[in-house]
Structure 1
Amino acid sequence: MTATDTAQVTPGGDAPPTRLTPRLKLVLVILLAAQFMLAVDFSILNVALPVIGEGLGFELSDLQWIATSFALCAAGFTLLFGRIADLFGRRRLFLGGLVVLGAASLLGGLATSPELLVVARVFQGLATAAVTPAGLSLLTTSFPEGPLREKALGLNGALMSAGFTTGAVLGGILTDLLSWRWAFFINVPVALLVLVAAVVVIKESRPDERPKLDLPGAVSVTLGLLAVVFGLTQAGEHGWGSPAALLSLAAGVLLLLVFYAVERKAKAPLVPIGVLSRRTVAWGNIAGLIAFLTETSLVFLMTLYLQKVLGLSPLAAGLSFGVLGIGTVVGGTIAPRVIGRIGTRSTLILGGVVQTVATAALIGLGDDRSWMWLLLIGTFVGGVGNMLVIVGFMVTATTGLPDHEQGLATGLATMTQQVGITMGTPIMSAVATAAITGAGAAGVLGGLKVAIAVNAAIVLAGTLAAALFLRKPAPATTPASM
């Protein structure tokens, strides 16, 4: 049992609370604000990349490192930091990560050279890898398993997905009206406010006994994830047959196999094999990986459609995703009630079916702006379905584990999220590029339709896997209103 105000146990053995207390509401607001800020960081620079390149003298071929340096660290170190949060204190890591994030954002906004900007992005990625699992584990240990946790995770999922969309819109607005530097500066006051509030409201959470850190496991899994993510980014940039992509992916797979072998024999493993063998953890994370991979890469495909086929400006394209953002908020808001009525497994399946149908409908997009209605409806409905899957994934992947393993569970879930976001664009970019039949709008549209079809097929495959391999849980109780 952790020494924290977790709301898991009440005096006299009473049932855990089903409504939020004022203090728990403050905890929820602080943790959600941090997660939303981190989600915005994933996409806020996408629209601004060409402007940043011109302003700092980036070579066109080097622009990818602004995103890649962030993604490598965010995905590669998140499992390690999730375990460190369990061992040394979730609040401590959460606060430390916020300090690093604020400092790195200030450095990025003041950067005068490409090298300095990439360094800032590296530290932003490391801060994300620390704050995200620490924040999620604070969230899951602060709210009892059941209706309250489902609602908290639902809001968290909605805001994270909405943050990804908001980043694209906000990046365009800040770049057009002020400067790309404000895409960095905006983090500084937000991080400071969250930091001050967290110091006052959030209590420390750490285990009673502190086992040794599994250093061989930490090194092998971190290097393995770094190699996989680097290989995926190289595949998206140079094609799946490029030597750099193939060698990196092969090295990553080998290192992850080494990690598995190490964990089987370690006395205090970074990831206990027993946890990985749980169907809820394994298949819940697979569902989450597919959800993040498909929806974020669909944003990339629709960005190409809006700009390369319909000829919209980057700002107009970014604003078009506001409808998707609304869909994710709606999905995240209703997901806890849906889970309460039909259970997590059925929610995963329902969300996957809705996302599959909405994505497949986008194959019908045409080459003029009269088809915007289909894009807006398809992305809205797909956003609702995607959030049902994401919230179902978070609840499934963190259910049935004791408090001292929540940092591990949320670290795995966070890693799944980061890797899914990172994998999606390279995969869909490679599919679309291979299928493009000409330089004109019609040729680009043909390639995009093939990629959209592949995207929908991946969602369907994930939905079928959840239906087949996730055991049907006991009926859930209907959550009370917040």
Structure 2
Amino acid sequence: MNVARTRTHPPARRAAAQGAVLAALAAAQFTVMLATSIVNVALPQIRAGTGLTDSGTTWVVNAYGLAFGALLLAGGRAADLLGRRRVLIAGLGLFATASLAAGLATSANVLIAARTAQGLGAAAIAPAALALAMDRFRSGPGRGRALGVWGAVSGGGAAGGVLLGGALTQAWGWPWIFHSVALGAALVLAAVAVYVPRDAGRKSGRFDLPGTVTVTLALTGLVWGLTTAREAGWTDARVLGALGAAAALLAAFAVIELRRPDALVPARLFATGRVAAGNVLMALLGSVWIALFFFLPLYQQQVLGSGPLTTGLGQLPLAVAHMLGSSLAPRIARRLGATVTVTAALLTEATGLLWLSRMSADGSYATDVLGPSILVGLGLSIAFVQLTALAVEGVPGQDAGLAGGLVNTTRQVGGAIGLAALATLAGSVTAHASAGTPPLEALTAGYRAAFAVSAAVLAATALLALLLARRARARTTTTAAPQSARSAPAPRPTQTAPVPPKSPVDHHA
């Protein structure tokens, strides 16, 4: 009996410790995603409570996304150089403090400044937490399960934010959406401090200050220009100036990176081809992700007449489907292969969005929202898990934080581009239809157009995933053959032919 206990208890304790670490890190990711969407259903109440204008109300959302998206690369690199646990704890501390300040704000300027600080904290949290999780679960089924949890909390945080925001706003008022986030971040900080072991701390290397400043300014100009275009229009001088400056700064960033040995985004990050493929596909997925959680609550409130709490409850099926898909994604990928899994997931989500594009002004939640929400949740979660795995697979250990920051950046920037384009499209269709159409029908026409274009984008993304997989397979086969000819001994006549290697896209599953 004693021998049996000695053999079984240490593995059980190790598994429990691993689970506690993953839970703490996943809770950090959940908190970041929660803050992205928790304000959406409370914007009318926030506007009334702080005296915000129409444009100021929009910046309650935009300030967080702008700081988050622009600083993710810097946050990821800082985590690699300064220590991931240290940066994660600092980010959580800033995030909790800024959330508390947002809840206590009585003026528009203080609220927007607090939301900006929240985004800065999130830019440190997201890449550091992902890098720590991937370092803890390096390969095999363990990494697959970790990524499944990551996908579940990412989607659950986005959908749960709508539910929690509606419930708190209706029960206690809008300040409590920020107070709850502050409390959650403080609890997560305590859990990280207790359960997440210290990493190596400071690592060798220098911080690429010119590259960091240039790309941060470029991303700031890009995201600001895109979000402003939703209200001011694409021909506004400020929008054109911001987008032009962003393009020039991105070109300058490329030149700087080619000349610096300590580049912020080193070329070795893209050596396998998987990181580039994963980030391109993630940007396209992100372009419809954020727009989905923008338009769907609007349809429920403005067209179906749902209140904040009912709107939040309406997101539960999508959240449950997202968590289910995330937990099943690694298992499906092991059975079907990564390429088939990603393609099928993208097409499933596209089908759900196409279904949403048939919504009507006199419809109902049961007929127009429930079914497509489940399809969207399943497809989105599986695609997110697999593309995250692809974007961090094979990355050198010293660049894990940067890889986490990069994939989060592409999702955020892709989301900003997609939301700006789709909001402009929806507004144009609504304005055109409003001439001889009742207001609710005109609104619905705009939403239908946004969901139809989103479905088309995901269908094209699925085709691109197949194309990238085919090219990666061909490149791997052609580069492996000469190396084998040089290094391997000549096969005996009785030997079988070598098995061609898997493509990088398929390999990561």
The TM-score with structure 1 as length reference comes to 0.91
Paired with 2:116 and 2:371, the residues of 1 have a C-alpha distance of 37
- Corresponding residue of 2:318: 324
**Contact persistence 1:235–1:242 (CA under 8 A):** yes
Q: CA deviation at 1:315?
A: 3.0
Distance change in 2, residues 1:59/1:399 (3 Å): same
Q: Among 187, 190, 200, which residue is 1:193 paired with?
A: 187
Determine if the alignment matches structure 1 residue 224 to structure 2 residue 218: yes
- Corresponding residue of 1:454: 453
Higher relative contact order (CA 8 A, sep 6+): 1
Q: CA deviation at 1:179?
A: 1.5
Bigger drift between 416-425 and 381-390 goes to 416-425
Bigger drift between 157-166 and 441-450 goes to 441-450
- Corresponding residue of 1:129: 123
Bigger drift between 305-314 and 434-443 goes to 305-314
Determine if the alignment matches structure 1 residue 309 to structure 2 residue 280: no
Q: Among 116, 123, 145, which residue is 1:151 paired with?
A: 145
- Corresponding residue of 1:386: 380
Determine if the alignment matches structure 1 residue 109 to structure 2 residue 140: no
Paired with 2:12 and 2:67, the residues of 1 have a C-alpha distance of 37
> Which AA in structure 1 matches 2:468?
F
> C-alpha offsets along residues 171-218 of structure 1, whole Å, 9 cap, x if unaligned?
111111001111111123322222222122212334774211111110
Distance change in 2, residues 1:371/1:35 (3 Å): closer
**1:82-481 equivalent positions in 2, closer than 5 A:** 82-206=76-200, 209-276=203-270, 278-370=272-364, 372-436=366-430, 437-438=433-434, 440-470=439-469, 471=472, 473=502
Distance change in 2, residues 1:392/1:202 (3 Å): same
**CA RMSD across the alignment:** 2.2
Distance change in 2, residues 1:377/1:42 (3 Å): same
Distance change in 2, residues 1:477/1:286 (3 Å): closer
Q: CA deviation at 1:322?
A: 1.4
Distance change in 2, residues 1:377/1:20 (3 Å): farther
Distance change in 2, residues 1:277/1:254 (3 Å): farther
- Corresponding residue of 1:4: none
Paired with 1:457 and 1:299, the residues of 2 have a C-alpha distance of 18
Bigger drift between 121-130 and 55-64 goes to 55-64
Bigger drift between 465-474 and 26-35 goes to 465-474
Distance change in 2, residues 1:277/1:462 (3 Å): farther
- Corresponding residue of 1:13: none
> C-alpha offsets along residues 62-87 of structure 1, whole Å, 9 cap, x if unaligned?
11121111111100001011001001
Q: CA deviation at 1:339?
A: 1.6
> C-alpha offsets along residues 92-141 of structure 1, whole Å, 9 cap, x if unaligned?
00011111111111111111221211121111010000011000100110
Distance change in 2, residues 1:446/1:281 (3 Å): same
Q: CA deviation at 1:142?
A: 0.7
The answer for unaligned runs of 5 or more in structure 2 is 1-10, 474-501
Paired with 1:185 and 1:315, the residues of 2 have a C-alpha distance of 18
**SS at structure 1 position matched to 2:138:** coil
Distance change in 2, residues 1:351/1:56 (3 Å): same
> C-alpha offsets along residues 12-51 of structure 1, whole Å, 9 cap, x if unaligned?
xxxxx99972111110010011111111100111111121
**Contact persistence 1:286–1:462 (CA under 8 A):** no
Q: CA deviation at 1:367?
A: 2.4
**Contact persistence 1:220–1:256 (CA under 8 A):** yes
- Corresponding residue of 1:14: none
Q: CA deviation at 1:260?
A: 1.1
Paired with 1:230 and 1:259, the residues of 2 have a C-alpha distance of 18
Q: CA deviation at 1:318?
A: 2.6
**SS at structure 2 position matched to 1:419:** helix
Paired with 2:249 and 2:336, the residues of 1 have a C-alpha distance of 40
Paired with 2:194 and 2:337, the residues of 1 have a C-alpha distance of 36
**Contact persistence 2:56–2:108 (CA under 8 A):** no
- Corresponding residue of 1:73: 67
Paired with 1:446 and 1:256, the residues of 2 have a C-alpha distance of 36
Q: CA deviation at 1:298?
A: 2.0
**Contact persistence 1:88–1:206 (CA under 8 A):** no
Q: CA deviation at 1:352?
A: 0.8
Paired with 2:302 and 2:47, the residues of 1 have a C-alpha distance of 20
**Contact persistence 1:232–1:245 (CA under 8 A):** yes
> C-alpha offsets along residues 214-272 of structure 1, whole Å, 9 cap, x if unaligned?
11110111001111110110111222222222221121122111111111111110001
Moved over 6 A (4+): 17-20, 475-479
Query: Which has more radius of gyration?
Result: 2
> Which AA in structure 1 matches 2:333?
I
Bigger drift between 67-76 and 207-216 goes to 207-216
Paired with 1:199 and 1:299, the residues of 2 have a C-alpha distance of 32
**Contact persistence 2:83–2:203 (CA under 8 A):** no
Q: CA deviation at 1:277?
A: 5.4
**Contact persistence 2:230–2:424 (CA under 8 A):** yes
Distance change in 2, residues 1:161/1:261 (3 Å): same
> Which AA in structure 2 matches 1:255?
L
**Contact persistence 1:301–1:428 (CA under 8 A):** no
**Contact persistence 2:287–2:415 (CA under 8 A):** yes
> Which AA in structure 1 matches 2:243?
L
> Which AA in structure 2 matches 1:162?
G
Paired with 1:248 and 1:127, the residues of 2 have a C-alpha distance of 24
> Which AA in structure 1 matches 2:86?
R
Distance change in 2, residues 1:57/1:267 (3 Å): same
How many residues align? The count is 463
The TM-score with structure 2 as length reference comes to 0.87
**Contact persistence 1:36–1:160 (CA under 8 A):** yes
